[in-house]
Amino acid sequence: MGYWLIKSEPGCFSIDDLAAAPHGTTGWDGVRNFQARNYLRDGMRLGDGLLFYHSVTNPGVAGLAEVAREAYPDVTALDPACDHYDPRASAENPLWFMVDVRFVAKFPQLVPLRALRAVPELAGMELLRKGSRLSVMPVTEPEFACIRALGLAGG
């Protein structure tokens, strides 16, 4: 089993939006960074654990999700009416991929970025590296377990 962190601006799509989606499941589309795309396409597997991170204002981990469907072509890249349209992509050469994610739990309180930085066991985490901007990144099992415990305990 793998573990990942996925980021979203809460004004764009929040943990509450995921919980309210039909069956608590939605496509995780719009990823337009090649390294993050590779994590989606080549790394994520059905059932992998996800930390759902709210970025920008009051950044922190808001809850848990899981991979509900493995990578498939991101249809928003092919639709000129979508914000995530990419004219380089085609049905024959999809270029961008997405996975489906399913809501698992919302933490009683957001686990803020400053709290994550204060935990010595998380010091090597990609999220906490200066300049880290990936919207999809791997986390280790101990990192996932530590943040899960912090979140379920109320931050």
The class that CATH gives domain 3-152 is alpha beta
> The whole model's pTM is what?
0.95
Predicted local distance difference test score (pLDDT) of residue 47: 98
Q: What is the pLDDT of residues 44-68, one digit of tens each?
A: 999 999 999 999 888 999 999 999 9
**Which sequence spans correspond to the domains of the chain?**
3-152
Q: What is the pLDDT of residues 127-148, one digit of tens each?
A: 999 888 899 999 999 999 999 9
Confidence class for position 41, pLDDT limits 50, 70, 90: very high
Percent of the chain with pLDDT over 70: 99
Q: Is 114 exposed, middle or buried (0-12, 13-18, 19+ CB in 10 A)?
A: exposed
The rounded distance, in Å, linking the Cα atoms of 29 and 52 is: 14
Confidence class for position 155, pLDDT limits 50, 70, 90: low
